[in-house]
Amino acid sequence: MDEQQHKMEKDCSAIVDAQLPQIDSLAQSGQLTKALEQLLVLEKQTRSSADLASSTRVLIKFIRLTFEAKDWSLMQEYIVLLSKKHGQLKQAITRMTQEAMQCLEQTPDMKTKLELIDTLRTVTEGKVYLEVERARVTRILAKIKEDEGNITEAADIMQDLQVETFGSMEKREKTEFILEQIRLCLLKRDYVRANIISKKINIRYFKESEVQDLKLRYYDLMIDYSLHENEYLSVCKHYRQIYDTPVVKADSAQAKRAIENAVLFVILTPFDNEQSDLIQRVYLEAEEVDIPIYRDLLKCFITNELMRWPMIEQIYGPTIGKNPALAGDSEGSRKRLKELHNRVVEHNIRVIAKYYTRITTKRLTQLLDLPDKDCEEFLSKLVVSKTIYAKIDRPAGIVSFAKSKHPNEVLNEWSQDINALLGLIEKTCHLITKEEIIHSITKVI
């Protein structure tokens, strides 16, 4: 039955005002049982009268009396008992639950705290009007499990709740809860579930200035996920979003760090149309920040000129080598450093394909600073990805970048050329005839 249908039949506030001091006196004199019995009678009276204010005061009093007596088991019994009473007002149960939650930090030991949390989770289960309280208690429990080192259990506890369906929860708190779910999934190394959960957050919400901290937390988590999946283009986009945050732009150190990472990861991304477009955008942003080494390295990839890997290492290595993505001797750092070398080689092959129609394999290996086998492997990858067109004549040792044309294409081009030539001849003849007529008229005059 909806709360609106419970119309107050009788105002019990005067009765409650009169009896609560007596109940407090009984509890203070050591007669807790008698005080609670009298309170139960009063609870029934307020509940039968549908007096929300009085009923709420009585239910809260149950929590306070048992808390002051430090009788935690008795508190849990009454929480369960009162929440099951027929006709109990929902708002009153909500206030009682909130009062009990405030006692969690006052529990004498972890065992008592866990028992009280378990009781609250039991009471709130399946009740829409207690969904926010259940989410908060669940988050406390997950934090306890995480502190104990049970990451898997903490993640499983958090995933039990689908907070995106909670209508009564504020958007900020809902987003914080989902971010916590993502974080625990990443700690658990459940990357598939982390990606699924991340889709529950509408990134348009981050445009609001009050949630910049949540935006930064979200993109930090997404960077961790994308790095694991080797999605360098996504990592670049995430760092651009971080840079685009007002609080980051206001801090030159943070802005510089964000753009440095955006530059590095757009370079590490294999070439395609999207990468080609993004690298131009990142270059414009890099000019806004004082990062000359990164900007110059990025310009090398934009310019259609060959880059020699030894020179790249010598000029840019000391600076970009300090970046956390490349620093250290971890597997990820070594892999990304190798990817950087690969991108340099692929850039050089694209440049060579642009300026050469044919080249010997010996000369190609010299330009790329690679042995024959590696050179052929890189060429094959770019041909398969349709980045360039190339054919290798191994016996002759020649690489051809000129695409062979179909006979129909040759005929069409020849036909177009002949048409253009005939058109030019016709126009020339017309102009000559025109000049002759003008000249003859001039002579007559």
pLDDT at 2: 46
Residue 413: is it exposed, middle or buried by C-beta count within 10 angstroms (0-12/13-18/19+)? exposed
pLDDT at 168: 83
pLDDT at 178: 94
Cα–Cα distance between 239 and 245 in angstroms, integer?
10
Cα–Cα distance between 336 and 332 in angstroms, integer?
6
Strand partners, 392: 399
Nearest to residue 94, comparing CAs of 133, 142, 137?
A: 133
Which DSSP helix (H) or strand (E) runs through 358?
Answer: strand 358-360
Cα–Cα distance between 180 and 163 in angstroms, integer?
12
- Per-residue pLDDT tens listing for the chain (445 residues): 444 445 666 777 788 788 888 888 888 888 888 888 888 888 888 888 887 888 888 888 888 888 888 889 988 998 888 888 888 888 989 999 999 998 888 888 899 999 999 999 999 888 888 899 999 999 999 999 999 889 999 999 998 888 888 888 899 999 999 999 999 999 999 999 999 999 999 999 998 889 899 999 999 999 999 999 999 999 999 999 999 999 998 888 898 999 999 999 999 999 888 989 999 999 888 888 888 888 999 999 998 888 888 888 888 888 888 888 888 778 888 888 899 989 999 999 889 888 888 888 888 888 888 888 888 888 888 888 888 888 888 888 888 887 777 788 778 888 898 999 999 999 999 999 988 888 888 766 6
Cα–Cα distance between 252 and 365 in angstroms, integer?
43
pLDDT at 7: 65
Cα–Cα distance between 293 and 267 in angstroms, integer?
14
| Entry pTM | 0.81
Question: Which whole-number Å values give the CA distances from 345 to 244, 308, 338, 374, 401, in the listed order?
Answer: 32, 9, 11, 10, 16
pLDDT at 387: 85
pLDDT at 444: 67
Check: CB of residue 379 under 8 Å from CB of residue 390.
yes
Cα–Cα distance between 100 and 300 in angstroms, integer?
63
Helix then strand then coil, in percent of the chain rounded to 5, is 75, 0, 25
pLDDT at 215: 93
pLDDT at 4: 40
Q: The tokens 């395609």 sit on which residue?
A: 272
What is the bridge-based pairing of β-strands 391-393 and 398-400? Answer: antiparallel
Neighbours of 331 (CB within 10 A): 8
Longest CA–CA span in the chain (Å) reads 140
Check: CB of residue 163 under 8 Å from CB of residue 126.
no
Nearest to residue 137, comparing CAs of 155, 123, 153?
A: 123
Check: CB of residue 100 under 8 Å from CB of residue 137.
no
Residue 415: is it exposed, middle or buried by C-beta count within 10 angstroms (0-12/13-18/19+)? exposed
Quote the radius of gyration of the chain (alpha carbons, Å). Answer: 37
- Token pair listed for 356: 């050469």
What does DSSP assign to residue 311? H
